[in-house]
Amino acid sequence: MKKLIILILLFINSTVYASYFKTFTNISPNKIWTLKFNTQIKFSKDSIVVKEDNGKIINCTFKKGSDGKSIIIYPPDGGYELNKKYIIETKKNIKSLAGRPIKQEYRIFFTTIPKHKAIVDIKIGQTPWYKEIKIKQTSINGAVKFKFENSSIYFNLNETVKIIMPEDNPKIYFYNSKNQLLYTGYINLKEEAENKEIEI
């Protein structure tokens, strides 16, 4: 009888961890991840690791979701680097409010997009050099304005820009509110577009 009781206690106190492994590609560098659990949890900063595939730790911010059952992972300052592989891992020290180890473990592999993207409207006039351009939003963290190469004029995102542009693929520079350069790319103006996502 004593042996039977011991076996039952061992079974009750053991913890079985269910693993969540998944791979994602073409992820925005500003991606906010949400890890969901089936009970309210408590955790520390050491409970989660975000790292490059070479093992370098990335400094991200972690917060508990408003439901108490999720962890929100915010990207590092400036966002993740383009065209790079990352891993998100949770540790077994995430616990329920009662102090029991949670059953779910996460391991997420993701690769960021190779280039930044923008949502644009482009209209071409009767003269191909005349263009109306509106850059509605971009994947560039903190970008609020832009300018073209060989120009000193800044334009705001969501502003309709009427411009004489002989080039079909001009170089474009994006800046934050402090006029700090964030990103340099190229924008394809060969074809008209409406609310279209393009690489820049």
pTM here?
Answer: 0.72
Q: Over the stretch 42-61, which tens digit does the pLDDT of each residue have?
A: 998 889 999 999 999 999 99
pLDDT tens for 147-179 read 999 899 999 999 999 999 999 999 999 999 999
Residue 66 has pLDDT above 90, yes or no: yes
Residue-level pLDDT at 103: 77
Both 131 and 88 in one domain: the answer is no
Tell me, yes or no, whether 29 and 44 share the same domain: yes
Contact (Cβ atoms closer than 8 angstroms) between residue 174 and residue 137? no
Q: How many domains does the chain have?
A: 2
Question: Do residues 128 and 190 lie in contact, with contact meaning Cβ atoms separated by under 8 Å?
Answer: no
pLDDT score of 9 more than 50: no
Please tell me the predicted confidence (pLDDT) of residue 11: 29
Regarding whether 107 and 24 lie in a shared domain, the answer is: yes
In this predicted structure, the answer to whether residue 19 has a pLDDT above a threshold of 90 is: no
Let me know whether 102 and 153 are in one domain: no
Contact 117, 26 (CB under 8 A): no
Q: Of 97, 112, 127, which residue constitutes the final position of a domain?
A: 112
pLDDT given for residue 105 in this prediction: 85
Identify the domain containing residue 65 by its residue range. 17-112
> How do residues 76-123 score in pLDDT, each as one tens digit?
988 899 999 999 999 878 999 988 888 778 999 999 999 999 999 999
- Asked whether 99 and 44 are in contact (CB, 8 A), the reply is no
Shared domain for 149 and 88, answered yes or no, is: no
Sheet holding 70-74, edge to edge: 33-36, 70-74, 61-64
